A and B are shown apart, each in its own frame.
Chain A
Amino acid sequence: MESIRPKIIAFLTKFFPTVELADDQDIFALGFVNSLFAMQLVLFVEKEFGIAIENEDLDIDNFRSIQAITELVERTASVQNA
């Protein structure tokens, strides 16, 4: 958790530079979200944390907040790296 969260914040800050994102803040409600952002987010998570996002994880709720993304990474990494 400790190493995952700062990396996610650093990535999201590129897209929301003037917003102090809370862990449970709905980033999709901020008004800027398009398909390009979603694609970059998936690619970032896969590359940064060395995991493969499977189809069943492509649920918008898994990417809705810093907390949700962190939990997705932890859950997926524990399965794929086991």
Chain B
Amino acid sequence: MKIELTEKQTQERQAFQTFVQRAISPYADGYDEEEYTPPEIIWEIAQQGYLGALIPTEYEGRGLDMVTFGLLNEELGRGCSSIRSLLTVHSMVSHAILRWGNKQQKNAWLPRLATGSVIGAFGLSEPGAGSDAGSITTTAHLDGDSYVLNGIKKWTTYGQIADLFLIFAQLDGKISAFLLERNTPGFSAQPIKGMLGTRASMLAELHLQDCRVPKANLVGWRGFGLAAVATSCLDIGRYSVACGSVGIAQACLDASLAYTSTRQQFGSYLKDHQLIQRMVTEMLVNVKAARMLCLHAGALKDQGDPDTIMETWIAKYFASKTATQAAQDAVQIHGANGCSSAYPVQRYLRDSRVMEIIEGSTQIQQIQIARYGYERMEKHDRSAS
């Protein structure tokens, strides 16, 4: 068994790194401080084709495989988790239309999502529904040739600027997905400021008051409700966040290696102190392990293997916890400098905390992964008997 990237994947990763180092990393602290992502950088990202990462070339997208998509998320996450989160939610909306949309929806939206002329955002969470996504209270009812939507969505990433929202609502008791455009009468988005992390991700609270959307804007079918559209979107989002978390952890490692190689205390460089070496070792090993889990999950996605679902849960769980621990240690290593906005590690720490909450909190993951573990154990016992 040989585990390595293809030559093309390696080249793509190098291109991602070059772009992020030039166009994003030098400005990420500013975006975080301003709680704002300038349209110019979104345009640049779109020009690179990154917003069309998961959209096939027939719809003007890049058509990246899932391993390469993971590498893109890692590199963006290494530079700026807020901008990585734009790719996450935009890709989730693109995926929903690509996988579950009809031909008309694909033709109407995918090219514009691919080029970035339309920005997508994901509207599932509500003030009263986070982990318990099935308890959303936003409603939809059919009235003539339109669906009428009412409700409130919260924590919508890039909800302040998105043009197209994928809104989940209860339709006749089943959760269904609807495409809603920003200029729909009755729709408003209120900015959410002062978040702990990913501060530049321009969160919004969405208010839907008798918003009418055409019947044609229903995405997919109501058969499996939350399962089909939301779950498959969340799988993509989870994978994106997992890979982005590896990026955060790698950034922490990069910063710590550099800092400890230049700063001296007690007459020697920090890197020569064993307790520092311990923290660096933990960081390095866990980054590698998290990356392997993510690549494995991505490879399974490319193969269409159903095991990718749980492997993505496992990757996200480990990678997000790795990011948090790496960021804790990076701040500790930097000392007082680590608590200062003059160094990026404080941003990494705040961003990493968000990673353990979104796309399946650590606690929900612990419940789900344990259940998976017991299922597998029972299978092995049954096979052996």
Contacts and interface: CB of A to CB of B under 8 A. Distances in A.
Interface of A: 11, 13-15, 17-18, 35-36, 38-44, 46-47, 55-56, 58-60, 62
B220 interface: yes
Contacts of B100: 55
A40 B306 CA distance: 5
A17 B375 contact: yes
A39 B309 CA distance: 8
Contacts of A43: 304-306, 308-309
A35 to B, nearest CB: 4
A60 B309 contact: no
B375 A58 contact: no
B366 interface: no
A55 B220 CA distance: 6
Contacts of B376: 14
Contact of B235 (A11, A14, A39, A55): A39
B230 A35 contact: yes
Contact of A38 (B224, B303, B379): B224
Contacts of A46: 304
Given A38-B231, A42-B228, A43-B306, A59 B375 contact: no
Given A14-B375, A17-B379, A55-B220, A39 B227 contact: yes
B226 interface: yes
A58 B378 contact: no
Interface in B186-241: 220-221, 223-224, 226-228, 230-232, 235
Give chain B's interface residue range (CB within 8 Å of chain A). Answer: 20 to 34
Contacts of B220: 55, 58
21 contacts: A13-B382, A14-B376, A17-B381, A17-B382, A36-B231, A36-B310, A38-B224, A39-B228, A39-B306, A40-B309, A40-B310, A43-B304, A43-B305, A43-B308, A47-B304, A55-B220, A58-B220, A58-B223, A59-B221, A60-B223, A60-B224
B107 interface: no
A41 to B, nearest CB: 8
A36 B372 CA distance: 11
B124 to A, nearest CB: 12
B337 interface: no
Contact of A55 (B102, B305, B368, B378): B102
Contacts of A35: 224, 226-227, 230-231
Given A35-B230, A40-B310, A60-B224, 17 more contacts: A11-B306, A17-B375, A35-B226, A35-B231, A38-B224, A38-B228, A39-B231, A43-B304, A43-B306, A44-B306, A47-B304, A47-B305, A55-B102, A55-B221, A56-B221, A58-B223, A59-B221
Q: Which of B235, B303, B304 has the most CB of A within 10 A?
A: B304
Contacts of B310: 36, 40
Contacts of A13: 379, 382
B309 A18 contact: no
A21 to B, nearest CB: 13
Contacts of A14: 375-376, 379
Nearest to A45: B306
Nearest to A56: B221
A44 B310 CA distance: 13
A36 B224 CA distance: 11
A11 B231 CA distance: 20
A40 B379 CA distance: 17
A49 to B, nearest CB: 11
A18 B306 contact: no
B106 to A, nearest CB: 12
B359 to A, nearest CB: 13
A36 to B, nearest CB: 6
A62 B227 CA distance: 14
A39 B301 CA distance: 13
A62 B381 CA distance: 31
Contacts of B303: 47
B378 A17 contact: yes
A14 B380 CA distance: 9
A53 to B, nearest CB: 9
